[in-house]
Amino acid sequence: ERTVQRIAAGEVVERPASVVKELIENSLDAGASRVAVSVEAGGTEGIRVRDDGVGIPADQLEAAVAEHATSKISAIEDLDRGVVTLGFRGEALYTVGAVSRLTVRSRPPGADAGAEITVEGGDVGDVRPAGCPEGTTVEVDDLFFNTPARKKFLKRTTTEFDHVNTVVTGYALANPDVAVSLEHDGRETFATEGNGDLRSAVLAVYGREVAESMVDVAWTPDAPDASGTPDGDTHADPPVRSVTGLVSHPETTRSTREYLATYVNDRYVTASALREATLDAYGGQLAPDRYPFAVLFVEVPAGDVDVNVHPRKLEVRFDEEPAVRAAVEDAVESALLDHGL
Ligand code: ADP
Ligand code: MG
């Protein structure tokens, strides 16, 4: 049974960044206003995510690390948003605990004491009292210590850290109202303020130069023709509801690397349609060897986005891909035009 559990876990937990992603989602689900991530050796030696969310009462710690542990109706909410994460509902802590040394330490706000539980390679220990601040801290040490085959697939620590950084950055930009920080081997990589301002989050993550080259994107479809569609339905849902965010102005862009963070219905995703439409909007206006920076939030009707391309990947496809492309290109182009291009 242990072996089956380990194999299943190895399929889902690909690398440190996949663990970090699940732990951040749990912190955000817990209503945290601060999420502090710190990793050692790209996350291969240690991962810690601390939040100030609702916490886990001592008598629920064991359930939290058990199979099918979810205390959430997220699957239904996700269905509403048209974005379902596969393979991990109610299983993240359980799955991670099967392939690492996992400690969950928590104190719900107002509780006089905290408690912790440890899982080592699937062996669940006893719940013990623990001194800790309000909120939850999850520590994951020695990822894949008992799955050498999986461990062999890990890349150099700089590569693993790049993946971690991409994930944490993605959540930091999507949640400017949450103070998100990242630390690698004891050194701070970035820390957002959590003041709700996207520009300020961009400044924290990418630095002043990128932040100062940004212009606002705010696109909505033209109001529908009052005559409506032939069958008289004037409320046809447009294929794209809005495109918002920030893009870099070509004249001030000094970035020598492409930074594109795209979100569909508030979920961090990758989609070649979004990337290509963004690049098309610049239409060769960038200086040679300069790349755009963009953080774009696209809202589409829930049923129009397919996330089941691959359970572990962020790639999505759109039913109305040409309309999405056109909207994003138009949105970015108009933003640049508004600023004299
Ligand atoms: P899921 O998130 O799908 O419910 P997880 O295995 O990720 O499944 O988490 C199991 C349960 O543990 C959650 O439903 C939640 O009740 C609790 N939990 C996990 N992380 C946190 C956290 N950071 N703060 C509060 N509760 C948490
Ligand atoms: Mg979870």
Q: How confident is the model at residue 9 (pLDDT cuts 50, 70, 90)?
A: low
Mean pLDDT of the 180-206 span: 97
- Determine the residue of 23, 34, 71, 136 to mutate for testing ligand 1's pocket, defined as the one with the most ligand atoms within 8 A of the Cβ atom: 71
Give 193's contacts (C-beta < 8 A, 6+ positions apart). Answer: 179, 200, 201, 204
- CB of 85 sitting under 6 A from ligand 1: no
Q: What is the DSSP string of 280-291?
A: HHHTT-SPTT--
Mean pLDDT of the 307-314 span: 63
Q: Specify the pLDDT at position 198.
A: 95
- CB of 54 sitting under 6 A from ligand 1: yes
- Spatial contact of 334 and 219, defined as CB atoms under 8 Å apart: yes
Can you read off the two tokens belonging to residue 212? 């100062």
Shortest-distance atom of ligand 1 to CA 27: 23
- Spatial contact of 266 and 297, defined as CB atoms under 8 Å apart: yes
- CB of 90 sitting under 6 A from ligand 1: yes
Task: Give percent above pLDDT 70 in the chain.
Answer: 84
Picking from 22-36, 81-95, 252-266, 289-303, which range would have the lowest pLDDT averaged per residue?
81-95
Q: Specify the pLDDT at position 72.
A: 60
Average pLDDT along the chain: 86
- CB of 22 sitting under 6 A from ligand 1: yes
- SS3 for 58-69 is HHHHHHHCCCCC
pLDDT, one tens digit per residue, over 35-89 is 999 999 999 999 999 999 999 999 999 999 988 656 664 444 454 444 444 344 6
Q: Specify the pLDDT at position 227.
A: 54
- CB of 27 sitting under 6 A from ligand 1: yes
- CB of 56 sitting under 6 A from ligand 1: yes
Mean pLDDT of the 168-176 span: 94
- Spatial contact of 248 and 299, defined as CB atoms under 8 Å apart: no
ipTM associated with this complex:
0.99
Q: Who has greater pLDDT, 217 or 287?
A: 217
pLDDT, one tens digit per residue, over 105-136 is 999 999 999 999 999 999 999 999 999 999 99
Res. 152: pLDDT tops 50: yes
Q: In the 8-state DSSP scheme, what is residue 187?
A: E
- CB of 12 sitting under 6 A from ligand 1: no
Ligand approaching nearest to the C-alpha of 98: 1
Ligand approaching nearest to the C-alpha of 89: 1
Q: Who has greater pLDDT, 145 or 316?
A: 145
pLDDT, one tens digit per residue, over 235-285 is 578 999 999 999 998 887 777 778 889 999 888 888 899 999 999 999 888
The verdict on pTM exceeding 0.90 is no
Q: Specify the pLDDT at position 80.
A: 46
Distance from the Cα of residue 207 to its chain's centroid: 20
Give 311's contacts (C-beta < 8 A, 6+ positions apart). Answer: 12, 86, 87
Picking from 110-119, 135-144, 198-207, 299-308, which range would have the lowest pLDDT averaged per residue?
299-308
Mean pLDDT of the 318-339 span: 93
List the one residue out of 230, 306, 223 whose CA is nearest residue 264. Answer: 306
Mean pLDDT of the 135-145 span: 97
- The secondary element (H helix, E strand) that includes residue 158 is helix 157-174
- CB of 97 sitting under 6 A from ligand 1: no
Q: Specify the pLDDT at position 173.
A: 95
As a residue count, the chain comes to 341
- Determine the residue of 18, 26, 49, 59 to mutate for testing ligand 1's pocket, defined as the one with the most ligand atoms within 8 A of the Cβ atom: 26
Task: Give percent above pLDDT 90 in the chain.
Answer: 61
Residue nearest atom 11 of ligand 1, based on CA coordinates: 64
Res. 203: pLDDT tops 90: yes
Shortest-distance atom of ligand 1 to CA 51: 23
Shortest-distance atom of ligand 1 to CA 135: 24
